[in-house]
Amino acid sequence: MAADYDLMIRNLLAFYDFKDKTMVCIGAGGGQFIGYSEPPKKIIAIDQDAGALEQLRLAVARNNITDKFELIHGDFLTMDLPVHGDVVLFEFCLHEMTDAAVALTRAGKLADDVVVFDHGLKSQWAYYVVEEEKVRVSWQAVKRFKVSKHHVYKAEQKFKDYDEILTKVKPQGEIAIQRIEKFKSKIDITIPFTYELALVNLP
């Protein structure tokens, strides 16, 4: 996302106190949100995308925090779960799970607290990347559990021109490309989006 990651990280850290806790981070690959790494004592990062996990490894090395991270390659829904922590964080990935309710239930076996950090229900950006239905289904799954805290945040995606936004959405397929057609002659493109944080307490 071409968004203000620093602000998003500050909102995450204000939402939940990760200080001195062991965090199990699902969908952690890529390293965009590595700024959340200071408060936890340990971060177990799980991602099924080997390339994204490698990007995270490089980001961790650049920031000299390798000792704090344990990186695990695997599909959270099907892998064995040998790890445990104080809190599980779904990092912009719950909507990608084939069964969000199952993912949340599995997370509840790893930690008492589960934090969902994901696209908002009313996010225009989710529409442009053709994820609005997946986002709706995942938040519907969250509501099946006890949610003790929930915040919605407004932000913006910024792109210098059509080519930049095309590069971003192209992997999402033809529908996404069709949806950004109206930006073809535009520069300094701003797309409002929302993201949400929820603290889920599972039995």
pLDDT at 69: 92
Strand order in the sheet with 87-91: 69-73, 42-47, 22-26, 87-91, 113-119, 187-201, 146-161
Decide if pLDDT at 143 tops 80. yes
* pLDDT tens column, 144-185: 999 999 999 999 999 999 999 999 999 999 999 999 999 999
pLDDT at 63: 87
Residue, of 34 and 199, whose pLDDT is higher: 199
Bridge partners of 30? none
Instruction: Give the domain ranges of the chain.
Output: 5-154+195-201
Query: Distance between CA atoms of 49 and 152, rounded to whole angstroms?
Result: 28
pTM across the whole model: 0.91
* pLDDT tens column, 42-71: 999 999 989 988 999 998 998 888 899 999
Decide if pLDDT at 3 tops 70. no
pLDDT at 46: 92
Range of weakest confidence among 28-37, 41-50, 126-135, 180-189? 28-37
Other C-beta atoms within 10 Å of 43: how many?
24
Average pLDDT, the chain: 92
What is the mean pLDDT of the segment spanning 127-156?
Answer: 95
Query: Distance between CA atoms of 90 and 198, rounded to whole angstroms?
Result: 10
Task: Name the class of domain 5-154+195-201.
Answer: alpha beta
